[in-house]
Structure 1
């Protein structure tokens, strides 16, 4: 029931957004070519504009989805909602311009600007009105479904918190049953424990309940059969929350395989279209970066060649997604025999650096060839920085969940790097930031990290 209502609620938001976007497009076209603004090159045929509208109705909802605008977030304020719509609208518009550039030769740039303004205004108004109406309906207690939670422990508490955070779905927890009689009369997150598990029939007879959720710990699963024997004689919906959250690490959840329900304790954070979108994003922006930085890379390569003996480029083995290794490309900043005694991490005032190496590392110019790694598919523009395999084995033994950073491609820059965690900084803190990025990834977040990097995110006192 939860998933069905969630999909229904999400589909309403998607349809509302598409209606607002189509209306914004028509209004922008009418505004531009109604005579208010002088038309110097003629009015484009509606067939061309209709093609642009189709692209809008695909690109904008997909971008909104990637920005998590279709997820439920009760803690997000109205101001936060407006800001997220604004960021997503700008991102979608940039993607629309890029796509339009490759598939069409002629379009009205002024119409696009007017459309962006209308789209932001209409989508924002639609969402604020929807939020207000939903909150009013729930506040007045209309169309609520009551839930009985069986289990007063940590798992039951989590169920209650989840229901509270998804109030727009119209559920409320009316009471909790427990395995421990001494807990009767106590409260779990402001919900009263109204009895013990054996009293489930009496509770269902005396209270209107639409759904029962079993949230028992593993030690209490011996009671499940007796409970199901009683509940099987009733029309109430029954759901089970397995006590496996303590083992879930990254992107866990419930799957179905040939009709067989499977609980996923650890999964891939980027699947299907998410992976395609991130790869397309990497190819587009790495090509753009190579074109922009080509003169700088040529000058850097020449400087390396003229100031020290050895090759301009340095290839070093790093570990990327799924534990696969690849040769990372960098401009050489150290003497050619820097590691004759074995692998070593860099340190302040490292004597192995070349004359120009300190300068290149300080301003991260030695990292520029990694755009070619991105183009080849070894890396991504944004992701956890890749480490050398020789150091990773030690990190995996010392740091819990370290290996999860290899569930995505390594990046040239990342969430940890723009927050100052470079070089010899706390490795535990860097992993915390890396996992936060993986769990909250979106194309908009990638764009934000790239912008902050371009504005000085790689200028750090820890870069050496």
Structure 2
């Protein structure tokens, strides 16, 4: 399976459908609508407006589909659900185009508006769904023929796990699960599933198993008495982009974060591994990128001034780079303006405290106003961070935090942010205890994530920048 190629196919045919429907719609207007207005035939001339529409209309549609999350889970599509999605997005998109471009069209009566609207809707929906139906049908047939499969791991080796395995493996029209093995949740001399699948290890081996086998789906098959293991298992899985299924017995325990589904004769519960609907997550990402680009442009004078002051005030680079842990536990390089003297952490990681002598004079100002964080807009543009989200930490400190608060890893479900609810409410942390005190605020954000909350956090952050009331402490090292 090549997901990028499959996405490219949908993008290409969606583009063709949007372009084709616009061309046919333009011809329809010239042949049937405008003659009613002018009382004579109107020649079909491809004007500048036509070519502009031919460029921007398809771009609009592809952007709209991306925001709605259509291009995610590209191999896991249902033709029936896709029909509903295409109808919904077509209606919304055509309404936007109609009010933006067609209300000032040449018409003879308001009846022409209805003709224009439903003609564009019919053409766009018809062509779009036709191509999508063909592509999705091809994928479904390949799944049913077992030409396409999704690497799947079963957690548990008991009788229930065996039953689920047989039900999914013996389907005449399989759901696409390609079982690579199972992991045990307890120690036993013999596992019922062992005769059919290899035992790859136990729960402690999950990270290595997921990485080495490129897993896409996990089925949790536990006995009713084993529900106490769910928290541990889900904590282990939440740092990976996986589709997680549970057996029906788990419904009461997981109903807050699950939706029911049926895979042929095996009813399973899909456990959500995300916190926002796809359209909200994609829209948040687009807003992050646009906001970061605009911020970089507006702050160019400050960037130049800060860089000159840092360079002339103390020896060392203007920026420092450091490895932090991001979404799903993946490390990335974070950028900041240097606020400490060079080699401030020559003896190892050390958090800064109040009146830390390692902090330079300009460093105190940058920390109070949070201007040292400006280079992180580059991290946002790269997709490693968000404007708003829990602050990223180093693995050195995460290892200490999770010993006391294992639920800290829940924060890694989303991209870390330049600013956060915890930072707004509490400020920088200068030791592990303060990190733990700040943790509840970030967990509250995790449970209440929304555009409204992001906007409030951003406003309070901007106010803190102007007031310069940051505490100047934090986890920034020497560079």
Normalising to structure 1: TM-score of the pair? 0.46
Normalising to structure 2: TM-score of the pair? 0.45
